[in-house]
Structures are given as structure tokens and as C-alpha cells.
């Protein structure tokens, strides 16, 4: 039986930290779905379509990765698609506090055997966040080394 996992986020933009988690998770599962979310609390720089295009281009060399978009509760999406796991990346202890709350809530909402799996970010990416990258780029700072090339091109076009 095929094992499939979901790695969800806004990916606004996708960073090298995200890509590191995607590459590592893809080795652990037969299929890895990168779920690009609509988050009404955030004001994204990129449209859902732009983010989807960006992520598809960046992960095109990873055969078992599929890109999906969704709106609403992650647990509802995971239940509907019957994912075996939901992957979450952790950068620091502050991430853990937020992520453990989400994982515990999702555990109550999951109807199947879905597990939340935490992957520690490679230390060289531990300070990277999409929000920080957008802020630095908006002030004409160099974020080239923090993003996949295509994401960097799209970010430069925005500013």
C-alpha cells in the first residue's frame, strides 16, 4: 500500500528551508503532496496561482511530489484525501510551541490514522521565513541565497 503525506503552507514565497523539508519528506513517502493554502489571516504577496506555479517549477525534479491547493481546515483536507501523515517543519523552539498546539488540535480532528510528523530544519535554514524574506527584499536587500532561483526571480519582479 502506498504511503502519502501532506506538507502544507502558504509558500509566499517558497524558501530553501521549505525546499529542504520537501526533499527530505519526499524520500520518506511514496507520494508527497505540497498543499498551498489560502490563509485569510495573511495578506500574501503572491496570488494562489502564482504560488502554485512557483512551487511546481521549483520541485519539478522531484518525481513523487504533487502540488495541490486548498482552503479551510488542514484536518478536513487531510481527512478527505486520506493522508498518512502531515509534515511540519520546525526551525526553533518558538515554532515548536505553535506547532504542537496545531498538531494536538489536528489529532482531535483527524478521522483516520493521520499522524503529524515534525522535521527539524537544516540549521543553515533555521532563520529563514517567508515573511522575513519579503521584508528584506522590499527594502532592496539581497535574499538570493535564501530562495530557489525561480522564486527569487518572481520575488524580484514583485519589487
- For 135-155, write each residue's pLDDT tens digit: 999 999 999 999 999 999 999
- For 29-41, write each residue's pLDDT tens digit: 999 999 999 877 7
Catalytic entry in 3, 42, 60, 158: 42
Cα radius of gyration rounded to whole Å, the chain: 15
Q: How far apart are CA 144 and CA 105, in angstroms?
A: 36
Catalytic entry in 10, 18, 51, 88: 18
- For 89-148, write each residue's pLDDT tens digit: 999 877 899 999 999 999 999 998 999 999 999 999 999 999 999 999 999 999 999 999
pTM: 0.95
Whether residue 43 lies in the annotated active site: no
Give counts: helices (H), strands (E), the chain.
6, 5
Place of cell 483516520: 112
Whether residue 98 lies in the annotated active site: no
Whether residue 42 lies in the annotated active site: yes
Tell me the fold of 4-158. Rossmann fold (3.40.50)
Catalytic entry in 51, 88, 130, 134: 130
Q: How far apart are CA 118 and CA 97, in angstroms?
A: 12
Q: Which three cell numbers stand for residue 33?
A: 503532496
CA distances (Å), 148 to each of 33, 86, 113, 116, in order?
Answer: 19, 23, 34, 26
Amino acid at each position: 500500500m502506498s504511503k502519502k503525506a501532506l506538507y502544507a503552507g502558504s509558500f509566499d514565497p517558497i524558501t530553501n528551508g521549505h525546499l529542504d523539508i520537501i526533499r527530505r519528506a519526499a524520500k520518506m513517502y511514496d507520494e508527497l503532496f505540497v498543499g498551498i493554502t489560502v490563509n485569510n489571516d495573511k495578506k500574501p504577496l503572491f496570488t494562489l496561482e502564482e504560488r502554485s506555479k512557483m512551487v511546481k517549477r521549483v520541485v519539478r525534479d522531484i518525481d513523487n511530489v504533487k502540488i495541490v491547493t486548498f482552503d479551510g481546515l488542514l484536518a478536513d483536507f487531510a481527512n478527505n484525501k486520506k493522508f498518512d501523515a502531515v509534515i511540519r517543519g520546525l526551525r526553533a523552539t518558538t515554532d515548536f510551541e505553535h506547532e504542537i498546539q496545531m498538531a494536538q488540535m489536528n489529532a482531535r480532528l483527524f478521522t483516520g490514522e493521520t499522524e503529524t510528523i515534525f522535521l527539524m530544519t537544516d540549521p543553515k535554514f533555521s532563520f529563514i521565513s517567508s515573511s522575513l524574506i519579503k521584508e528584506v527584499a522590499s527594502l532592496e536587500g539581497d535574499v538570493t541565497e535564501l530562495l530557489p532561483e525561480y522564486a527569487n526571480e518572481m520575488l524580484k519582479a514583485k519589487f
